[in-house]
A = this chain, B = another copy of it.
Amino acid sequence: MTITITAFERSPDGGQGLARDTRVRWALEEVGQPYEVRLVSFRAMKEPAHLALHPFGQIPTYEEGDLALFETGSIVFHIAERHAGLLPPHSDGDADARARAITWMFAALNTVEPPILELATARIHEGDRPWTKERLPLVEGRVRDRLKQLSARLGGADWLDGGFSAGDLMMVSVLLRLRSSGVLDDYPNLAAYVARGEARPAYKRAFAAQLAVNTR
């Protein structure tokens, strides 16, 4: 069955790969699944046809036959469950490793990403507010608290728990949002970790595909 995902007609980042369809593209490239892309405008995202697919009016969505999913974490997990390459298998010896890899997916999305998005919101959506200059160091401090802990856990390892997994795919994707801020440079092992993710052929193909849309 054909897999169809949605992506921004024009990404707000102009093709830096920060829109969430890149995460889904990356997962599909890692497991070698072809996919089609339906581009949606900001206006269309808030209309009934798209809201039926995605109740929060965002991208990406994922359609495969009768199945329609939204929420990047769920889509990446679905891909990882159905195809080898992103999670240790269900078999007895690897069940614990599988549960730990899934843990890192949730950690990326619920513990590391929220302060990073808050920093982006403070900079972009509240950039012109009178309080922002004084407030930014507070918000950045919350990001640094998380990065310090993550850096300590990663140590000198290549990936968060054994081999590359969907947990790393998600964590690298979340950390990439910090690149332009320069904050990541203070945590060399995290910067190297992100670079390791970007160097994967599957990531490169995903990045190129979203860039092509945004530079048409």
B74 and A105 contacting across the interface, CB-CB below 8 Å: yes
Q: Is the interface of A mostly helix, strand, loop or mixed?
A: helix
Q: Which residue of B lies closest to A112 (CB)?
A: B56
| A67→B92 CA distance, assembly (Å) | 12
Copies of this chain per assembly: 2
Given A67-B99, A149-B56, A114 contacting B117 (CB threshold 8 A):
yes
Give the segment of A27-35, A125-133, A183-191 that binds chain B: A125-133
Q: Which residues of B contact A105 (CB under 8 A)?
A: 74
Given A55-B153, A56-B149, A131-B134, A78 contacting B99 (CB threshold 8 A):
yes
Q: Which residues of B contact A135 (CB under 8 A)?
A: 126, 129, 131
Q: Which residues of B contact A57 (CB under 8 A)?
A: 149
Q: Which residues of B contact A109 (CB under 8 A)?
A: 73, 106, 109-110
Q: Which residues of B contact A126 (CB under 8 A)?
A: 135, 138
Q: Which residues of B contact A78 (CB under 8 A)?
A: 99, 102
| A17→B134 CA distance, assembly (Å) | 34
B111 and A114 contacting across the interface, CB-CB below 8 Å: no
Given A99-B67, A102-B74, A106-B71, A149 contacting B55 (CB threshold 8 A):
yes
A96 and B66 contacting across the interface, CB-CB below 8 Å: yes
| A24→B152 CA distance, assembly (Å) | 26
Q: Which residues of B contact A134 (CB under 8 A)?
A: 131
Whether a CB of chain B sits under 8 angstroms from the CB of A18 is no
Tell which of A106, A118, A153 has the most Cβ of chain B within 10 Å: A106
Which residues of A, 67-97, contact B by the 8 Å Cβ criterion? 67, 69-74, 77-78, 96
24 intermolecular pairs with C-beta atoms under 8 Å apart: A51-B149, A55-B107, A55-B149, A56-B111, A58-B111, A67-B99, A69-B99, A71-B103, A71-B106, A71-B110, A71-B111, A72-B106, A72-B110, A73-B109, A74-B99, A74-B102, A74-B106, A77-B102, A77-B106, A78-B99, A110-B113, A118-B118, A126-B138, A129-B131
